[in-house]
A and B are shown apart, each in its own frame.
Chain A
């Protein structure tokens, strides 16, 4: 057991998987960095610190620094994966999915299906995402709501170092395309990571806290906010059952429904804007399948229907927060049917 930061866990897991499987390649912008410059290769080692040393260890045929060409990055990873390789593609900011959406949505996600099940496309698309850095509207967004809606893609959102290891290993070894979302604000989070090799199967939510009064569903950065809120609520004798979904596709419906049937109250925390989102999807699921268990209307704490703003005050107001979660929890607990 070692204490590691998520960014190091990701780098070390890629390293271990590359050592384990010669067919694994990795592509992205500046994942090596410095090529063609006076500083030389590895002057950067990946802007997120998730690929340092890999180029020197595995060489330029496996750790492939690309031009700024998102469509070609995903297309190249897909073409290699269709022809026998296994590929990791890094899109530097999840916001750039707009540039390569066709390759993800119309190509990668559909190959297995439209080729009658006769092809495989083992590709892990890593995308740093999320707000909290005053990076303004085009470098701060979440995109899980789009990719979760797309048949043919699996969507993974780790929140702890131990989960990042097991979920990334599972993603890389999976024979289907996986969107692996890394919250930028979680890269520096430290935690215990088992030394041995392990994978975490998709579709299994993590029980963060156990409680009897409110079910809180969250992903990514929102999980920590929910934990902080739950600690405050505990002071008032309200106990929360927090589930970190870990994967939004596949979804652990069973854990969600079991928890709601136990608590009778549901609070969903989602970093996305409120319309056509993961929050509305989960709300619909519970309304359809656990309606009679509900003691109060479902609460959603989400971003507003706006782009992510730049200024500190604005971004803070935009994001869900522990305080907003506490307020929503209080509404749930004080609800009385009239």
Chain B
């Protein structure tokens, strides 16, 4: 699919923002600046952006514990996200959620989620709303969540109710610390999705264009009233399951190899410059812009207001 120069630059900017957001977090966490568990999305940028570049605010996504990339791709404010991860009361969720629960319902982002496999059923419900307004609902899951019973229930119910839900399985080949080859009992997660009675395809999750084109087809298919669909995206996780993970399950040289050969940003740059759609200078300019944005986000987060004990019980209920 031919994209305009503006659309290409925007897609690259989103991917680069995710990469730099995560790399900066990796550094800040190592310095002890950030509390709690953080799961970085670096390496999978083409998945989130290739999906979300098709979506508007009335399309919905629900995410996973590895959710920063989906949040950025769907339009959550990057500075407010960073503030949330720093635990500021100025954060997107007032410091109540943190890395694993970033959400902004107003932009159609129904939340990162700390429970593996919890998102798919909620995406089915968003699909009920989507069906009534001609939009779509996306359930991002990994190769870990694909084995949860909740995901199976959601897939079956979406087929039964013919809902415009797309189950996006980002296969980064590790469910936490266990290989996909061990944990996915079926021939493939795509074959299993097809067995539920839905259209199921695969795409290359490190290639923005592969994801983007495949998603165009699926969104059109779902909006035409054919019910749900599924896509398996072959991708790579550049960091561990969580920050601090020693990654002893990786093969020798594996990380160097995937960073060299399976990098979504390098792949994008190569494709668009070889096709003369963008110049290297265009891309370098985006890099500089994003660097400044992430610097600003971290600086503002470090200076942002901290929550107080009085905030603990706020927003348990709307009344009483």
Interface residues, chain A, with chain B CB atoms under 8 Å away: 25, 61, 64, 66-67, 69, 71-72, 74-85, 87, 102-103, 106-107, 111-120, 151-152, 154, 174-176, 202-203, 250
B200 to chain A, nearest CB (A): 19
A30 to chain B, nearest CB (A): 14
* A175 cross-chain contacts in B, Cβ below 8 A: 318
Q: Is B97 an interface residue (CB 8 A)?
A: yes
A76 and B125 within 8 A (CB): yes
Q: Is B121 an interface residue (CB 8 A)?
A: yes
Interface residues, chain B, with chain A CB atoms under 8 Å away: 60, 62, 91-97, 101, 103-106, 108, 110-111, 113-115, 118, 120-132, 137, 149-150, 153-154, 156-157, 160-161, 314-320
Q: Could you say which of B123, B137, B153 contacts A69, with CB atoms under 8 Å apart? A: B153
With CB as the reference atom, state the residue of chain A lying closest to B114. A106
Q: Could you say which of A75, A81, A87 contacts B118, with CB atoms under 8 Å apart? A: A75
A74 and B121 within 8 A (CB): yes
B118 and A80 within 8 A (CB): no
B310 to chain A, nearest CB (A): 14
B157 and A202 within 8 A (CB): no
Q: Could you say which of A87, A106, A174 contacts B125, with CB atoms under 8 Å apart? A: A87
A-B contact pairs, 28 of them (CB 8 A): A66-B157, A69-B156, A71-B121, A75-B118, A76-B121, A76-B125, A76-B128, A79-B124, A81-B125, A82-B105, A82-B122, A82-B125, A82-B126, A83-B125, A83-B126, A103-B118, A107-B113, A113-B315, A113-B316, A114-B96, A114-B103, A116-B92, A117-B314, A118-B93, A118-B103, A119-B105, A152-B317, A203-B320
* A75 cross-chain contacts in B, Cβ below 8 A: 118, 120-122, 124-125, 150, 154
Q: Could you say which of B60, B124, B131 contacts A61, with CB atoms under 8 Å apart? A: B131
With CB as the reference atom, state the residue of chain B lying closest to A119. B105
With CB as the reference atom, state the residue of chain B lying closest to A203. B320
* Bound form: Cα–Cα A73–B89 in Å: 33
B150 and A72 within 8 A (CB): yes
Of all A-B residue pairs in the complex, the 3 with the closest CB atoms, nearest first, are A75-B121, A79-B125, A116-B94
A71 and B153 within 8 A (CB): yes
A199 to chain B, nearest CB (A): 13
Q: Could you say which of B96, B104, B110, B149 contacts A79, with CB atoms under 8 Å apart? A: B110
* B120 cross-chain contacts in A, Cβ below 8 A: 75
B150 and A71 within 8 A (CB): yes
* Bound form: Cα–Cα A83–B150 in Å: 20
B115 and A116 within 8 A (CB): no
* Bound form: Cα–Cα A61–B105 in Å: 23
With CB as the reference atom, state the residue of chain A lying closest to B92. A116
* Bound form: Cα–Cα A99–B124 in Å: 17
* A80 cross-chain contacts in B, Cβ below 8 A: 125-126, 128-129
